[in-house]
Chains A and B, each alone.
Chain A
């Protein structure tokens, strides 16, 4: 259940960014989570929604972009999503392919409204 700590870090990042916004209000924060990140999106939403109430940033929405595991074939350069641990290249059959992405735990974007002032400067 480390999603609580992760939700806290996401909100900290938003809080820091919000101080630079000149009165614009953050409405949505986007994060990218890879299938190998060991983070459960549902648990993260649950923790985020609970914590955001305490921050003065509410209402603030969390959007999670789930990123599949991707590999690249060093022989034919095909980049493909790995489904059910099948890492062989679907194009040329090469069994030895290289990990490209899928362990993301990254901040992606912040959506801000132009019209509402920030409710709190915390």
Chain B
């Protein structure tokens, strides 16, 4: 019996495509964010509010993933920005190849920001790099404060936690401080924003975060990158 070393990541084909995407985003100065959460936390609502407040003519696009239906893309198209639905047909996460295919007929040079809404699932999407600059995890106050401890991988890999549905705080036993403490136990550097997509609280801070994050992203690019 012989033991031969095997090299590389199990998902190396996905990672290879993700790296290609990351290089394309960098070449065109496109900040790509991967929005993740459990089903019903408000990813689509957050995107609706984002597009609603986004200055017309500025360059944002959305890829939205679901197992079935075009519903989310229909909700998001009315704001006039490019939106494409990815239906996975049963798969519980988006992978880099789905993103690559969805982008085939889009010109990245026409974009500054690409928002990817993953399938609602706090487990599987955390294993698949989509070439994004950062993951943003949405947690709503109708869920448990211990979600970050139950699903540490996703919270560990996310740069920002958006705590959504804060308008419901008077009616639910959710303790905001506890949720933030749990998220930061898993990921000590986790940034947190509290928003209500329904009432609008915290949305200006979210829009500022997006702008700041794109500025930071641009500073990481080599000077040769096309930032127009």
Give the interface of A toward B (CB within 8 A).
1-2, 5-6, 9-10, 13, 17, 24, 27, 29-31, 35-39, 85, 87, 95-96, 103, 105-114
Contact check: which of B5, B12, B153 meets A109 at CB < 8 Å?
A: B5
- The reply to whether B93 and A2 form a contact with Cβ atoms under 8 Å apart is yes
Cβ–Cβ contact A112 & B124, under 8 A: no
Interface set, chain B 33-78, CB cutoff 8 A to A: none
Is B188 in contact with A96, judged by CB distance below 8 angstroms? yes
Q: Which of B10, B93, B123 contacts A107 (CB 8 A)?
A: B10
Instruction: Let me know if B213 is at the binding interface, CB within 8 A.
Output: no
Contact of A38 among B8, B9, B123, B186 (CB under 8 A): B123
The chain A residue with its CB closest to the CB of B156 is A36
| Shortest distance between the CB of B152 and any CB in chain A (Å) | 6
Q: Is the CB of B127 within 8 A of A6?
A: yes
The answer to whether A114 and B11 touch (CB under 8 A), given A1-B124, A38-B123, A38-B153, is no
Identify 12 residue pairs between A and B in the complex whose beta-carbon atoms are under 8 Å apart, listed by A's number.
A2-B92, A2-B123, A10-B10, A38-B151, A95-B188, A103-B156, A105-B127, A106-B8, A106-B9, A107-B9, A109-B4, A111-B3
**Chain B: interface size category:** 20 to 34
A109 touches B156 (CB 8 A): no
CB–CB B92/A24 < 8 A? no
Q: How far is the CB of A7 from chain B (nearest CB, A)?
A: 9
Q: A36-B152, A85-B185 are in contact. Are A109 and B127 (CB under 8 A)?
A: no
Question: In the complex, are the beta carbons of B10 and A2 less than 8 A apart?
Answer: no
Nearest Cβ distance between residue A48 and chain B, in whole angstroms? 11
Q: Which residues of B contact A37 (CB under 8 A)?
A: 127, 153
